[in-house]
């Protein structure tokens, strides 16, 4: 029986009322009295040496308040990187400066060179056109493999080469790995590209900086997934401000997908300029700016090798990846190809020997950082493509090959640093086989063929590591931040509850799901509980929302804080009921004495906490508790996906005919929201697999710089999804037993789509081993006619 409230109920998203009626309050809706507008003059050259910048004409233009260049930020900190990766020789990564405005060189198309603050945006743009630039064009560093060679043009002149780090995980003894491969009965090898993506949230980035000279207080309104992280980074590393004088507000945010995690130069600029100009300063990114200034995602070039024994057991895996970091280190960029990627290379399989090698490269492109899945899609794509190719080469059923190699005993220590606490990969695959009606595929293929189409079935398994933690371990791995979260449960006098959370909701539905948990624990109506998020002046220090962590980490903090509240409320109830605290039970919003009919309502206890006339003297008045929660381990959602495609053999056009997902997310608070998260993730994954392609030419010009050339998935590009999350092995180490569901769809779907297309082509008699994403009609046709 589905529940109609509390944990497990598909409560309708309360935030949708304002989102769907145009009543949201986004950063661009915020206008501060007297604000000026900034326009950034951005480089149209990928790589160049700045010879001179003459701003005198611009400064004399109407409405101009001030013109800034890199010189104005000498002595100010640069944009920081939050994760120090140590390379395989023990050396720290190369970490070049990342100034707010370019100093000395421009390093990608879109690199901000100057900023004009003016009374109006159009005046700022007019004045920016009057800035006289002399930039010596240098060769653009675009190809990662040539960039890694000795003597290559340097993106950063002060670094020894373009390699940020040369990193390794897993088996360090090359000879041992070589031996495994030498003794293998079969080796499958695959070269592949994980295509560069632009996140393109519906709301572009916006920042409004405000400074109050009377108090010396700053406020930054910004489109962020994690306002406390922005405040910490900006105060401690960039502008050198005390945190108590800085408030960061991330109000309604129209989608993040990772790209709004990072601390961006425009945020620091608006905060800095608000004081320098003594005016609030507002910046709203245009969509064109977003393409060349929002951190991009993915962009890995990999070679993967899988060794199997004579019984088709996986015995060894080796990968070599070039990971593009772009021109500068974005906030968490260094962690994505390493600890969020290499650690996932075991996947769902008990491969005993794994070696992961990653060279992270500087190039003259937009910085690359976390995008929905962040490293885990890249790992899954490599692994599941090579497993599928192995099945085809060996002539075995791709599901049987996977099942044979599944990890079945938990906890399981992988050769790449993780301990999976729980899972049931065969059980999840069983669910998929039923939900996707795999038994009926042959008939569907025959029907497609009768219509002149090729039909393919693609299978994919994934595991992800969510709620990255614990802080002491990630600190050893190079994280420069803790990865806990926090919640304050403030019970109001008449029993309603405000929960201040460190997580930030920008599409995830926290405003609905989080109250379901608290209301369920107390036994009151969900409408009595509301969360407060996105404002550092209101919420405890939390790390925000990314990596499918919010419910698993911040939700756990909320549970802990609620438990403290209930514990205290029981003391008050015991006093009111003249009973022992140990005998007090809380159910359906009533405190009762066990075994009696004596009870007192939640609202009477909360009122007593604030009007403590008849009150236990040893208990403090009030009812408000805070908890910080640092997880003991990652959570490990896992799943099995099936995609069916049709390919038009005349045009190469791929249509996704069916997509079924069977996920194990552990316990689930709101099944409808989980469905929606999976739907969105699959949509983005289908977008990567078939449509999205962030492409540069050899001179570093962005070819896909608008929606005219960057293909976002539309509603008619995707089918109705089948989503099954009835396979549930609860997380063993957090109080809710939840695992996180935000990224699964984007991780699990690209290989399923690609495997399906290749199955279709091979079924048509064309032996095609691989086609790089996006599998556009042109590429598919070319592969069929190669």
Per CB under 8 A, residues contacting another protein are 122, 125, 129, 288, 650-653, 690-691, 693, 695, 703-704, 707-712, 776-778, 781-782
231 to 101, 264, 544, 570: CA distances (angstroms) = 19, 12, 12, 38
Least distance in angstroms from the C-beta of 161 to another protein: 31
Q: 61 vs 531, which CB is nearer to another protein? A: 61
CB-nearer residue toward another protein: 196 or 725: 196
Q: How far apart are CA 530 and CA 510, in angstroms?
A: 10
| C-beta closer to another protein: residue 56 or 286 | 286
- Given the complex with another protein, which of 200 and 219 has the nearer CB atom? 200
Name the residue nearer to another protein (CB basis): 189 or 288.
288
**CB of residue 204 vs another protein: minimum separation in angstroms?**
14
Closest to another protein by CB, 648 vs 769, is 648
Closest CA to 740 of 532, 472, 553, 531: 553
CB of 708 vs another protein, minimal distance in Å? 4
Residue placing its CB nearer to another protein in the complex, 125 or 571: 125
Nearest to 629 by CA among 729, 561, 537, 531: 561
Question: Quick one: 148 or 711, whose CB is closer to another protein?
Answer: 711
Peptide bond into 411 cis (omega under 30): yes
**Is the CB of 43 or the CB of 351 nearer to another protein?**
43
Provide the minimum distance between the beta carbon of 122 and another protein in the complex, in angstroms, as a whole number. Answer: 7
Minimum gap (Å) between residue 713 Cβ and another protein: 9
- Reference 743, options 380, 399, 376; nearest CA is 376
Cross-strand bridge partners of residue 116: 39, 67
Phi, psi of 638 (to 5 degrees): -150, 160
Residue 212 or residue 287: which is nearer to another protein going by CB? 287
The distance of closest approach from Cβ of residue 656 to another protein in the complex, given in angstroms and rounded to an integer, is 13
- Cα distance from N-terminal residue to C-terminal residue, the chain: 55
**Nearer of residues 484 and 710 to another protein, judged by Cβ:** 710
Residue 218 φ/ψ, nearest 5 degrees = -110, 145
Q: Which is nearer to another protein, 412 or 781 (CB)?
A: 781
Long-range contacts of 518-521 (CB under 8 A, 24+ apart): 518/489, 518/558, 518/562, 519/5, 519/6, 520/5, 520/6, 520/7, 521/559, 521/562, 521/563, 521/566
Least distance in Å: CB of 374 to another protein? Answer: 25
452 CB-contact burial (10 Å; exposed 0-12 / middle 13-18 / buried 19+): exposed
SS (H, E, C) 164-222: EEEEEEECCCHHHHHHHHHCCCEEEEEEEEECCECCCCCCCCEEEEEEECCCCEEEEEE
Of residues 264 and 710, the one with the C-beta less far from another protein: 710
Q: State the nearest-atom distance from the C-beta of 279 to another protein, in Å.
A: 24
Instruction: Quote the CA–CA distance of 322 and 542 in Å, as a whole number.
Output: 33
Nearer to another protein, 541 or 781 (CB): 781
- The minimum distance between CB 786 and another protein, in angstroms, equals 11
- Rounded distance, CA 626 to CA 540, Å? 8
Of 38 and 569, which CB lies nearer to another protein in the complex structure?
38
Q: Can you read off the two tokens belonging to residue 44?
A: 């149209």
Length of the chain: 786
Taking only Cα atoms into account, the Rg of the chain, rounded to an integer number of angstroms, comes to: 27
List the Cα angle 357/360/365 in 5-degree steps: 150
Q: How far is the CB of 288 from another protein (least distance, A)?
A: 7
Contact 752, 718 (CB under 8 A): no
- HSE of 767, CA atoms in CB hemisphere, 13 A: 2
Least CB distance to another protein at residue 130 (A)? 13
Decide if 384 contacts 374 (C-beta within 8 A).
no
Closest distance to another protein from the beta carbon of 126 (Å): 8
- Beta carbon of residue 302, minimum distance to another protein (angstroms, whole number): 22
Q: Around Cβ 691, how many Cβ atoms within 10 Å? A: 18
Look-up: residue for tokens 């030419």?
697
Please say whether the beta carbons of 543 and 583 come within 8 A. Answer: no
State the DSSP string of 21-52: TT---BGGG---TT-EEEEEEE-SSSSEEEEE
The minimum distance between CB 710 and another protein, in angstroms, equals 6
**For 731, phi and psi rounded to 5 degrees?**
-55, 135
Strand, helix or coil at 571? helix
Residue with tokens 């699959």: 682
CB 283 to another protein: min, Å: 17
């Amino acid at each position: 029986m589905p529940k109609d409230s509390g944990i497990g109920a598909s409560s309708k998203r309360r935030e949708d009322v304002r989102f769907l009626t145009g009543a949201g309050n986004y950063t661009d809706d915020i206008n501060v009295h007297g604000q000026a507008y900034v326009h950034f003059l951005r480089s149209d050259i990928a790589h160049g040496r700045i010879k001179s910048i003459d701003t005198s004409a611009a400064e004399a233009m109407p409405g101009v308040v001030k013109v800034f260049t890199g010189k104005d930020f000498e002595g100010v900190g640069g944009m920081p990187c939050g994760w120090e990766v140590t390379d395989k020789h023990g050396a720290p990564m190369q970490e070049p400066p990342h100034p707010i405005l370019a100093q000395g060189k421009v390093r990608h198309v879109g690199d901000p060179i100057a900023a004009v603050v003016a009374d109006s945006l159009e005046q700022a743009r007019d004045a920016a056109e009057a800035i006289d630039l002399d930039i010596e064009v240098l060769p653009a560093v675009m190809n990662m493999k040539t960039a890694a060679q000795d003597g290559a043009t340097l993106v950063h002149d002060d670094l020894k080469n373009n390699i940020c780090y040369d990193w390794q995980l897993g088996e360090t003894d090359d000879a041992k790995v070589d031996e495994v491969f030498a003794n293998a009965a079969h080796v499958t090898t695959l070269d592949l590209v994980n295509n560069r993506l632009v996140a393109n949230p519906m709301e572009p980035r916006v920042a409004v900086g405000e400074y109050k000279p009377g108090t010396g207080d700053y406020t930054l309104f910004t489109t962020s997934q994690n306002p406390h992280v922005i405040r910490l980074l900006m105060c401690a590393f960039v502008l050198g401000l005390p945190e108590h004088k800085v408030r960061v507000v991330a109000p309604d945010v129209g989608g993040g997908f990772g790209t709004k995690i990072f601390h961006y130069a425009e945020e620091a600029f608006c905060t800095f300029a608000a004081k320098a100009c003594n005016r609030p300063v507002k910046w709203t990114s245009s969509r064109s700016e977003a393409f060349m200034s929002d951190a991009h995602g993915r962009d890995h070039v990999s070679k993967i090798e899988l060794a199997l024994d004579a019984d088709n057991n996986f015995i060894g895996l080796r990968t070599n990846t070039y990971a593009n970091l772009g021109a500068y280190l974005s906030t968490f960029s260094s962690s994505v190809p390493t600890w969020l990627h290499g650690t996932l290379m075991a996947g769902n399989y008990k491969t005993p020997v794994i070696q992961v090698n990653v060279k992270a490269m500087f190039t003259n492109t937009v910085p690359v950082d976390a995008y929905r899945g962040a490293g885990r899609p890249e790992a899954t794509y490599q692994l599941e493509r090579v497993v599928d190719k192995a099945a085809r080469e060996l002539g075995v059923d791709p599901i049987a090959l996977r099942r044979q190699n599944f990890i079945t005993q938990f906890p399981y220590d992988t050769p790449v640093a993780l301990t999976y606490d729980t899972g049931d990969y065969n059980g999840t695959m069983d669910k998929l086989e039923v939900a996707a009606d795999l038994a009926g595929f042959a008939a569907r293929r025959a029907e497609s063929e009768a219509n002149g189409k090729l039909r393919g079935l693609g299978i994919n398994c994934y595991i992800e590591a969510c709620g990255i933690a614990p802080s002491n371990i990630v600190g050893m791995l190079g994280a420069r931040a803790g990865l806990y979260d926090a919640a304050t449960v403030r019970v109001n006098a008449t029993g309603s509850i405000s929960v201040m959370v460190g997580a930030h909701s920008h599409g995830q539905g926290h405003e609905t799901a989080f109250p379901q948990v608290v209301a369920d624990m107390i036994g009151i109506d969900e409408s009595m509980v509301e969360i407060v998020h996105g404002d550092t002046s209101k919420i405890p220090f939390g790390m925000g929302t990314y990596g499918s962590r919010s419910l698993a980490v911040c939700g756990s903090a909320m549970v802990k804080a609620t438990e403290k509240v209930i514990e205290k409320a029981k003391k008050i109830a015991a006093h009111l009921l003249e009973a022992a605290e140990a005998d007090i039970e809380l159910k359906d919003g009533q405190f009762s004495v066990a075994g009696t009919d004596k009870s007192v309502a939640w609202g009477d206890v909360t009122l007593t906490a604030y009007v403590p006339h008849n009150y236990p003297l040893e208990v403090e008045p009030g009812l408000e508790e805070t908890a910080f929660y640092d997880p003991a381990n990652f959570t490990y959602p896992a799943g099995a996906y099936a995609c069916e495609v049709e390919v038009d053999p005349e045009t190469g056009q791929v249509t996704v005919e069916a997509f079924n997902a069977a996920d194990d997310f552990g316990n689930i608070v709101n099944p409808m929201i989980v469905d929606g998260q999976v739907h969105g993730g699959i949509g983005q994954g289908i977008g990567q697999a078939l449509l999205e392609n962030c492409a540069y030419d050899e001179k570093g010009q962005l070819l896909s710089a608008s929606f005219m050339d960057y293909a976002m998935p539309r509603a008619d590009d995707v089918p109705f999804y089948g989503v099954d999350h009835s396979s549930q092995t609860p997380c063993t180490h957090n109080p809710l037993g939840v695992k996180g569901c935000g990224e699964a769809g984007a991780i699990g779907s690209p290989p399923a789509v690609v495997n399906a297309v290749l199955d279709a082509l091979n079924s048509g008699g064309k032996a095609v081993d691989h086609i790089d994403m996006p599998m556009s009609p042109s590429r598919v046709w070319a592969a069929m006619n190669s």
